[in-house]
Amino acid sequence: MKALICENGKIQMVERPMPVINNAKDAIIKITLSSICTSDLHIIHGFVPLAKNGVVLGHEFVGEVIEVGSDVKNFVKGDRVSVNCETFCGECEFCKKGFVNNCINGGWELGCKIDGCQAEYVRVPFADNGLTKLPDNVSYENALFVGDILSSGYWGAEICEIKQGDTVAVIGSGPVGLCAMQCAKFMGAGKVIGIDIDEKRLELSKKLGFADLTINPNNSDVEKAIKSITNYGADSVIEAAGGENTFEMAYKIARPNAIVALVAMYEKNQILPLPEMYGKNLIFKTGGVDAVHCKDLVRYISEGKISTDFLITHRFAFENIKDAYELFEKKSDNCLKIAIQY
């Protein structure tokens, strides 16, 4: 089969053997759609030490079950599924508490430590936990981002413990940030403030009804603007940008005793100036995503309560995926997310 690998910091299309069942809890999925994530770029650039050299990239995908191991109880050949970006056993101490990102038998495996989805087929371990069956009224495109981007945005909003009427500031109006805004609204936020340097993405966040107000740091002092809107700062802040100064911005625009959710991945160490912050009593919560709500998210999509259809701005055939990577990394042509078609 054809597969896209990352070897020594370069991506290349190669021929790989078809995956096989290695464990009775595995499933083999025929990919119908996949996408490219910023995390894939982090692997290519060498910022993910856990990534295996030569791994098949990708962890955002949907597809059809073509084979299951003997211990898989909830899925059969022919099921249409979305796939969780996290691999988790469901039985270890962390999984039982919902901390699936820290599963001692898994975590971020697909497209990092084991072969991922930017191939024609993929093996999914612990299939009963990692797969979500799609109802008839949810298409593959509808569900493409359930297992990672939507889960990340939902998780970022969830860990903020949003109360009815809260003001939530979201730094970054990219795919995760937009999903976080949508989910914050869904969870009862009274006011969502979108922050980004890309005016078109800010406009989109308002057009979609996710952001009530937007701030561009290139045009405004964000800290002053937030305080003029809220008096004391945002009730919670979701940092989904991972930019040069966005971590600093996050704790500065939060009100005292606020929650700051760090959903972004950083390529450099960040500084926490504790003496300067003394007495502000902030609570920081950090990633990666505990993607434990995929069944609920598919149900919300089915019921029309949440949608990620707006994220797909471009489509590429799998054989042209290297061109897709170039467009995605450069954010050319107002690209948000790309659907890779197989």
Question: Which tens digit of pLDDT belongs to each residue from 199-253?
Answer: 999 999 999 999 999 999 999 999 999 999 999 999 999 999 999 999 999 999 9
Q: Which residue is listed with tokens 């087929």?
A: 121
Q: Is residue 303 part of a domain?
A: no
Whether residue 169 sits in one domain with residue 127: no
Whether residue 141 sits in one domain with residue 156: no
Give the containing element (helix H, strand E) for 194.
strand 191-195
Whether residue 319 sits in one domain with residue 247: no
Cβ–Cβ < 8 Å for 195, 169 = yes
Q: Is residue 300 part of a domain?
A: no
Q: Is residue 293 part of a domain?
A: no
Please give the torsion angle defined by the CA atoms of residues 143, 146, 149 and 155, in that order, rounded to the nearest 10 degrees: 150
Provide the domain limits for residue 42.
Answer: 2-145+308-341
Q: Is residue 250 part of a domain?
A: yes
Percent of the chain as helix, strand, coil, to the nearest 5: 30, 25, 45
Cβ–Cβ < 8 Å for 43, 6 = yes
The identity of residue 43, as a single letter, is: I
d(CA 258, CA 186): 20
Beta bridge partners of 339: 315
Whether residue 156 sits in one domain with residue 104: no
CATH number at residue 167: 3.40.50.720
Tally of structural domains, the chain: 2
Whether residue 30 sits in one domain with residue 123: yes
Q: Is residue 321 part of a domain?
A: yes
User: Which pLDDT value is given to residue 254?
Assistant: 98
Query: Would you call 300 helix, strand, or coil by DSSP?
Result: helix
Question: Which tens digit of pLDDT belongs to each residue from 296-332?
Answer: 999 999 999 999 999 999 999 999 999 999 999 999 9
Question: Which tens digit of pLDDT belongs to each residue from 72-129?
Answer: 999 999 999 999 999 999 999 999 999 999 999 999 999 999 999 999 999 999 999 9
CATH number at residue 27: 3.90.180.10
d(CA 272, CA 280): 13
Residues of the chain above pLDDT 90, percent:
96
Whether the per-residue pLDDT at 290 is higher than 90: the answer is no
